[in-house]
Amino acid sequence: MTAATPALASRTLLVIGGTGFFGKSILDAFIDGALTPWQIGRVIVLARHASALPMQFPEFATPGIEYIDADIARSDALPAADIVIHAAASTDARDYLTRPVTERQNILAGTLNYCRLAPIFHAHSQIVYASSGAVYGPLEALIPVREDAPMRDIDAMPEGKRPYAAAKRDAEQAIKALGQAGLRVSIARCFAFIGRWLPRDQHFAIGNFIQNGLDGTPIVVKATHPVYRSYMHADDLVTWLLHIAAASAADCPTFNVGSDQSLTMAQIAGHVAQHFKVPLQIAVPTSATIDWYVPSIDKAQQQLGVALRFDLAQAIAATTGQRRA
């Protein structure tokens, strides 16, 4: 796709739930000019407290970005947009442990109400729903999961992951129904990420490792069984979401979004410890049970022509360095 000149950057991107990791990463990309290949000259952020974002982070108070305070679960109208990325959901595992029913209902309410409004306000938009790799259920160890893999029993997942996975499965069905009604939709099944805005005080292991590194404290791997993860950098995430938007269609294509470069948690921690020159402590394994969460990305690479631009070491450096002068 040929990059658009500023004069042609006239399309509007609406980000629903745009104040979290995904939304802030998209805004970074917009400010840096990385969205010009899609002729995006305007970004609208719709979230319950959207207007607080530029007050908390003044760099986001920039021409071309608009903020709408609204709850997608209760809205009765939506702004017009050429591209829509629906990324409204809490990703804090603590919420799903302490209030699982509420969080599942929140995801569904936000998706179902959007699906009610989309035929009215976004009948001609390209719509991407940000789903999750959690929808597959427990993954088969050491085999990157493909989009056509059978869904496994959610009850076999850890308790805190079940309501999130179930809600995302139901939400995907609602989005597919939009396609059956003639709208152009797509699903991005998102895995694990790293980037400037990844929370460093939640359940994201690499975020916690980075915070340890920034604090100059030892990085501790507590898992007593093999854990495998792979991380896509936020810049790649944004690019892939826009490519998926361009592929939106009535048959609702679904793509895994993430990295297929799997590493053990000990190896991941080692990369972070090496970057920050801090000590590393690894628990002695006591179980052979494998925790595997790695996607196959062959479909996206082959059909969309996308690629991974960052390996883990490069992603860590990009995450912890200064993004712009």
Q: Residue range 47-68: average pLDDT?
A: 97
Burial of 8 from C-beta contacts in 10 A (0-12 / 13-18 / 19+): exposed
Span 64-121, pLDDT tens digits: 999 999 999 999 999 999 999 999 976 555 665 666 677 888 899 999 999 999 999 9
Residue from 179, 156, 177 nearest 166 by CA: 156
Q: What integer pLDDT is reported at residue 99 of this predicted model?
A: 66
Q: What integer pLDDT is reported at residue 203 of this predicted model?
A: 78
Phi, psi of 244 (to 5 degrees): -65, -40
In angstroms, the CA 24 to CA 22 distance is 6
How far apart, in Å, are the Cα atoms of 222 and each of 49, 226, 228, 265, 282?
A: 36, 11, 14, 10, 7
Q: Which overall architecture, per CATH, does domain 6-192+233-258+295-310 show?
A: 3-Layer(aba) Sandwich (3.40)
Q: Is 181 left (phi over 0), alpha (psi -120 to 50) or beta?
A: alpha
* 7 pLDDT above the threshold of 60: no
Across the chain, mean pLDDT equals: 93
Burial of 33 from C-beta contacts in 10 A (0-12 / 13-18 / 19+): exposed
User: How do the domains of the chain map onto residue ranges?
Assistant: 6-192+233-258+295-310
Phi, psi of 194 (to 5 degrees): -140, 145
Q: Residue range 13-38: average pLDDT?
A: 96
